Amino acid sequence: MHPTIDQKALTRQLATAERRNKIKAFLLVLPLLLFVLASFIVPIGSLVWQGGYSDTFANALPETSKLLAAWDAKSPVSEELVKSFVTELKASKLKDPATPTRVATVVNRELSGSVSKFKQVMNASDLASPYKEKLTALNGEWEKPDLWRAMKIVSPSFTPRFYLQAVDLRLTAEGDVKPEGDENAIHLLLFGRTLMVAALVTFFCALLGFPIAYLLAHAETKTSNMLLIIVLLPFWTSLLVRTTAWIALLQQNGVVNDFLVAIGLIDNDHRLVMMYNMFATLVAMTHVLLPFMILPMFSVMKTIKPNLVRAALSLGATPWTAFWKVYFPQTIPGLGAGCLLVFILAVGYYITPALVGGQSGQLISNIIAFHMQKTLNWSLASAIATLLLIGVLLLYWLYNRLVGIDKMKLA
């Protein structure tokens, strides 16, 4: 080759090598990335999609859906629409006997009481032309626009109504948005409660975690190792075990109440109600999440050199000033990391509130599970879940910016 270095070729070679290394590194990550994509990102995507999509009605009654879309939601419904509705509903039963009730349930979520009216239609055997008259004879409600308006709302497959419902708004048949009636408005309340619980739990964890982390960081190694085990024991113990423990402790005839009665602090007839309410949720969650606060604080405090505080003290600062002005500011990274981590985990908590929270201690995750498993309103569950997800991802982004995800350490 040429004795003088070909600058360009070298650059090219370097770039190729660089690219090859990049690809090599990327190929190593690829299997996991694909795995996470397939078993996590895609499922989450399908959830986000489900929150804006529900084709139960349009699938079962396609012609009726078209006619409803064309209807102005005010004028009396046409004979054509009614005929299409009755024949398609009856026909849908032949394909799958579950369909009419499924459709009725979807409509019922917009207008309570629809299921029974649909059942009447399904049970009536003599529905023929003129359909409108016959249907009205069956139940006067069919003459009023309300049922048809409800159907108009649920007929489009792509719909913002679940996302609106997740923030207590309703879509009207005209396509306007109005606030949910007081009877059913519950989601904003739960979002608010979840944020409040997460904030309170974070606060309590910080309050209880700070002295412990301080003690661990500045005790002799041997002592601190022993004490670390006490912190790690709950961390390594099953979440369900810890929740069980709180049930045994806090119930009416539980250990705490028994103890308070025994020492005469409370009367046997006035045992404290500490179980199946918000209090139980707060206590149990603080207990479960406390190690997540202590460990990051501990690892930061361990690196704080005592000489700055000593310097402050020897310069005449009071112990409090030395602590507050010199020591405390250095703990902020650990405190911040712990608080964010605990807050993120608390916002999505499900198991503990479900087991000890009773009615007043339910959080947003619990309503998601409720709609998933009990009402089977999967689209609404998805919409609420998506909103929660957005909130958590924002916090996660913040955590990444402030703390750095690669700084996350486990015990």
Partner 1 sequence: MGGNTVGVHAFRNVPSMKLGSAEMKNWNGKLMLLGAMGTLAMSVAAAEAAQLTVISWGGAYTKSQTEAYQKPWMAKTGNTIVSADYNGGLAEVKAQVESKNVTWDVVDVETSEAISGCNDGLFEKIDASKLPKGDNGASPMDDFVPGAITDCAISTIAYANVFGYDSTKFSGDKPTKVADFFDLKKFPGKRGLKKEAKVNLEMALMADGVPAADVYKVLATKEGVDRAFKKLETIKGSIVWWEAGAQPPQLLASGEVTMTTAYNGRLFTPAVTENKPFVIVWDGQQQVFDTWAIPKGSKNKDLALDFIAFSTSTKPLADQARYIPYGPARKSSAPLVGKFQDDKTDMAPNMPTNPANMTNAIVQDVKFWADHYDELNERFVSWIGK
Partner 2 sequence: MKFLKLNFPPYATGLEIAWFFAFRAVCIAIFVFLVAPILVIIPLSFNKESFFSFTSGMLALKPEAYSLKWYRDIFANGMLAPDAPLSLDWFKDSWMRSQWMIALKNSIFVGVSATAVATTLGTLASVGLSRPEMPYRGLITGILISPMIVPIVITAAGMFFFFSQIGLSQTYLGLVLAHALLGTPFVVITVTATLTSFDRSLMRAAANLGANPLTAFFKVQMPLILPGIISGGLFAFITSFDEVVVVLFLAEPDQRTIPRQMWSGLREQVSPTILAVATILIMISLVLLMSLELTRRRMERLKMEAHS
Judged by CB, which is closer to partner 2: 85, or 210? 210
Judged by CB, which is closer to partner 1: 115, or 395? 115
Shortest Cβ distance from residue 376 to partner 1 (Å)?
Answer: 6
Among 241, 263, 265, 315, binds partner 2 (CB under 8 A): 241
State which of positions 336-365 bind partner 1 (CB under 8 A).
Answer: 358-359
Judged by CB, which is closer to partner 1: 71, or 246? 246
Q: Which of partner 2, partner 1, none interacts with 385 (beta carbon under 5 to 8 A by kind)?
A: partner 2
Which positions from 110 to 129 touch partner 1 by CB under 8 A, shown as an x/- string? --xx-xx--x----------
d(CA 143, CA 139): 8
Query: Quick one: which of 200, 197, 230 has its CA closest to 212?
Result: 230
- By the rule CB under 8 A, 374 interacts with partner 1: yes
What are the tokens at 236?
Answer: 């390594």
State which of positions 314-373 bind partner 2 (CB under 8 A).
Answer: 319, 344, 347-351, 354-355, 365, 368-369, 372
Backbone φ, ψ for residue 329 (5° rounding): -55, -30
- By the rule CB under 8 A, 66 interacts with partner 1: no
- By the rule CB under 8 A, 97 interacts with partner 1: yes
What are the tokens at 234?
Answer: 């709950």
Q: Which of partner 1, partner 2, none interacts with 108 (beta carbon under 5 to 8 A by kind)?
A: partner 1
- By the rule CB under 8 A, 234 interacts with partner 1: no
Choices 13-21, 202-210, 302-310, 367-375; region in contact with partner 1 by CB under 8 A = 367-375
Judged by CB, which is closer to partner 1: 275, or 383? 275
- By the rule CB under 8 A, 373 interacts with partner 1: yes
Q: How many CB atoms lie within 10 A of CB 133?
A: 13
Judged by CB, which is closer to partner 1: 78, or 303? 303
Q: Which of partner 2, partner 1, none interacts with 11 (beta carbon under 5 to 8 A by kind)?
A: none
- By the rule CB under 8 A, 254 interacts with partner 1: yes
Backbone φ, ψ for residue 357 (5° rounding): -80, -15
Q: Which of partner 2, partner 1, none interacts with 113 (beta carbon under 5 to 8 A by kind)?
A: partner 1
Which positions from 279 to 318 touch partner 2 by CB under 8 A, shown as an x/- string? --------x--x----------------------------
Number of residues that bind partner 2 (CB under 8 A): 91
Q: Which residues bind to partner 1, rule: CB under 8 A?
A: 96-98, 100-102, 105, 108, 112-113, 115-116, 119, 183-184, 186, 251-254, 271, 275-276, 358-359, 373-376, 409-411
